[in-house]
Amino acid sequence: MTSPLNPTRRKHRFGKAWMHEHVSDAYVREAKRRGYRSRAAFKLIELDERDKLLRPGIVAVDLGAAPGSWCQVLRERLGTKATIVAVDVLPMDPVAGVSFVQADFSTDEGLAAVESALAGRPVDLVVSDMAPNLSGIDPVDQARSVGLADLALDFAAHHLQPGGDFAVKVFQGSGLGEFEKAVRERFDKTYVRKPKASRDRSREVFLVGKGFAGEGLPRGARGAGHPGGAGEGGVK
């Protein structure tokens, strides 16, 4: 039985043109220099510098964590007192200070494993860099991307504590507007970001939700003691 998080259970296959672009990419070279496992590390760094997501000592969950570059950034910026739980259906080499769960969190068994790793700790931040294995059929790939983002939002809605933050990758296209609306309904402020580290040809954007309203609560329903207020965002 295949997993909705990795329907083909394989990595992408790339051609020679992609490989040439990859090895000549400035972010790839800098990632190697700094010891990051992939250039994607710089996307999270940019999101943090723009939206102040990473605060020392918080509890964070990284969905779709393999190969682990976002975990490396989380570990660097959250410090030794933080709790970081990484989740992926694919294997991932260990990152010091990160608890890794190899599971499909959209299943009851996988979700139980993630919750066991959290050990009852309330979550301050959920991040997701999940992307579907591309079929080359745009409507199919778009639907899969939005589907993965929906899974991440559902996880966040059930595990974030009020005031928590959320960042998720999704492709621009059909379904993005509806998904953005769903995020706005749950967070005080919502932004759509296109990090400079994202390749120009990529349709990916990141939705950032700041100030979770709380499970079952509409935006703006929280008490005045919680940070944040209603806000609007756009592609920046």
Catalytic residue positions, numbered? 169
Q: How many helices (H) and strands (E) does the chain have?
A: 7, 7
Q: Residue 46 in contact with residue 197, Cβ under 8 Å? A: yes
Q: How far apart (Å, rounded) are the C-alpha atoms in residues 96 and 1?
A: 32
Q: Residue 64 in contact with residue 87, Cβ under 8 Å? A: yes
Residue 1 token pair: 């039985």
Please, is 186 exposed, middle or buried when counting C-beta atoms within 10 Å of its C-beta (0-12, 13-18, 19+)?
A: buried
44: Cβ–Cβ under 8 A, 6 or more apart, which residues? 69, 70, 73, 74, 127, 129, 167
Q: Residue 219 in contact with residue 157, Cβ under 8 Å? A: no
Which runs of consecutive H residues, i.e. helices, occur in the chain? 16-23, 26-34, 41-51, 69-78, 108-118, 138-159, 176-184
Site of tokens 């080499």: 93
